[in-house]
Amino acid sequence: MQTELSKQLGVEHALFGFTPFPAVAAAISRAGGFGVLGAVRYTAPDELRRDLDWVEAHGDGHPYGLDVVMPAQKVEAPRDRTLTEADVEAMIPEGHRQFVKDTLAQYGVPELAEGEASGWRITGWMEQVARNQLDVAFDYPITLLANALGSPPADVVQRAHDRGVLVAALAGSARHARKHQRAGIDIVVAQGYEAGGHTGEIASMVLTPEVVEAVHPLPVLAAGGIGSGQQAAAALALGAQGVWLGSIWLTTTEAELPSPALVRKLLAAGSGDTVRSRALTGKPARQLRTEWTDAWDDPNGPGTLPMPLQGLLVAEAVTRIQKYEVEPLLGTPVGQIVGRMNTERSVQAVVDDLTRGFERAVDRINRIAGRSQQ
């Protein structure tokens, strides 16, 4: 399962695996794919350095990349000063804080222990934090830098290119993809409506060929709703040079989800049990539908705040919900492919299933076309 892009990056299979977990990223690369570690959860440079050290030690020398989040639209700092986390916190209305307190109280969610910090601070969606992450990442031999929300700033693209690092950016429309091309992006990830996390409104089957045509000759990766080799073959048939997979790794044995109850919910969920909601970050993100997302999407509620305010507002609440496994509220970003995630498997087993399914799909098309060698 090789393409020009996978050969350029030196990987066996054109499978690009996004994950917040270093053990999963390293396992994807060892299995012949390309592991991409998500950096947004790292609140301190030393934490990212620790996990990149781990990937280096356990990736057996295989290539890997890093995914950061630098929103194209963001809360602006006052003139001539850097916007701090405290500045952002101060912008959160008291009515929204009270709504969080009332919702948690309604479901009996306990407080954190005195002095216990939230484990889910998403300051990585603030540009300066992402820049600090890059200061660490460029000390390592990453070969790909991806940005989830628009093109990275021009100086970041140049900085990556100066180090021989390819830059990828996610796009939910052909218009977004063309912006990436004009910004000097090397790879466009066409992420369809079905995808987990931040995603647009166009389905993958429509989006992928539109983006391929829009940015030719740039390579395109297909994302959203892909979790089988047959779907990977379809993506390549639509013109993609690989597939970008995220949700499928959440129920692997190497993943580090914070709650056994959350794993059970994922394994039991069907493809219709997700929703695009602004509840988690302030931007539409596909996630498990829960009573928490329902509360935020209720027109009688206060409504969500823009990024990064919403993420900071709910950070402690999400930590408490996960720690105490309050199942009605317990969720995570995940795509519609969750309906196929019915058992816990190793990363290697997932890759083996993908590549075998890809071979079967290609063979079937060859038979239909009368080109089978069998």
- Determine the pLDDT at residue 97: 96
DSSP 345: B
* Lookup: tokens for 345: 């498997």
Q: In the predicted model, what is the mean pLDDT of residues 151-160?
A: 93
**How confident is residue 86, by pLDDT bands cut at 50, 70 and 90?**
confident
- Which pLDDT score is estimated for 82? 63
Q: Is residue 155's pLDDT more than 60?
A: yes
Radius of gyration of the chain (CA): 20
Give the per-residue pLDDT at 256: 87
pLDDT digits (tens, 9 = 90+) for 169-215: 999 999 999 999 999 999 999 999 999 999 999 999 999 999 999 99
pLDDT for 258 equals 82
pLDDT band at 123 (very low <50, low <70, confident <90, very high): very low
213-216 own/partner pairs: CB under 8 Å, 24+ apart? 213/174, 213/239, 214/174, 214/177, 214/178, 214/181, 215/177, 215/178, 215/180, 215/181, 215/188
Give the percent of the chain with pLDDT over 70: 93
20-46 pLDDT, tens per residue?
A: 999 999 999 999 999 999 998 887 889
Determine the pLDDT at residue 253: 97
| CA pair distance 206, 234, nearest whole angstrom | 12
- Residue 78 in this model has a pLDDT that exceeds 60: no
pTM over cut 0.95: no
Residue 56 above 80 pLDDT? yes
Q: What pLDDT does residue 41 have? A: 83
Considering only CA atoms, which of 195, 216, 207 is closest in space to residue 238?
207
Q: Taking the alpha carbons of 86, 91, 95, 99 in that order, is the dihedral positive or negative?
A: negative
Average pLDDT over residues 267-285: 95
329: burial class by Cβ within 10 Å (0-12, 13-18, 19+)? buried
Query: Facing residues of 187 across strands?
Result: 168
Q: What is the mean pLDDT of residues 56-80?
A: 78
Reading the block at residue 358, the tokens are 């890809």
Instruction: Give the closest residue to 169 by CA, choosing from 189, 154, 199.
Output: 189
| Cβ density class 133-147: b for 16+ within 10 Å, e for less | bbebbbeeebbbbbb
Q: Which residue type does 219 have? A: P
Lowest mean pLDDT among 51-65, 85-99, 339-353: 85-99
Average pLDDT over residues 236-240: 98
At 87 the pLDDT is 79
pLDDT grade, residue 227 (50/70/90)? very high
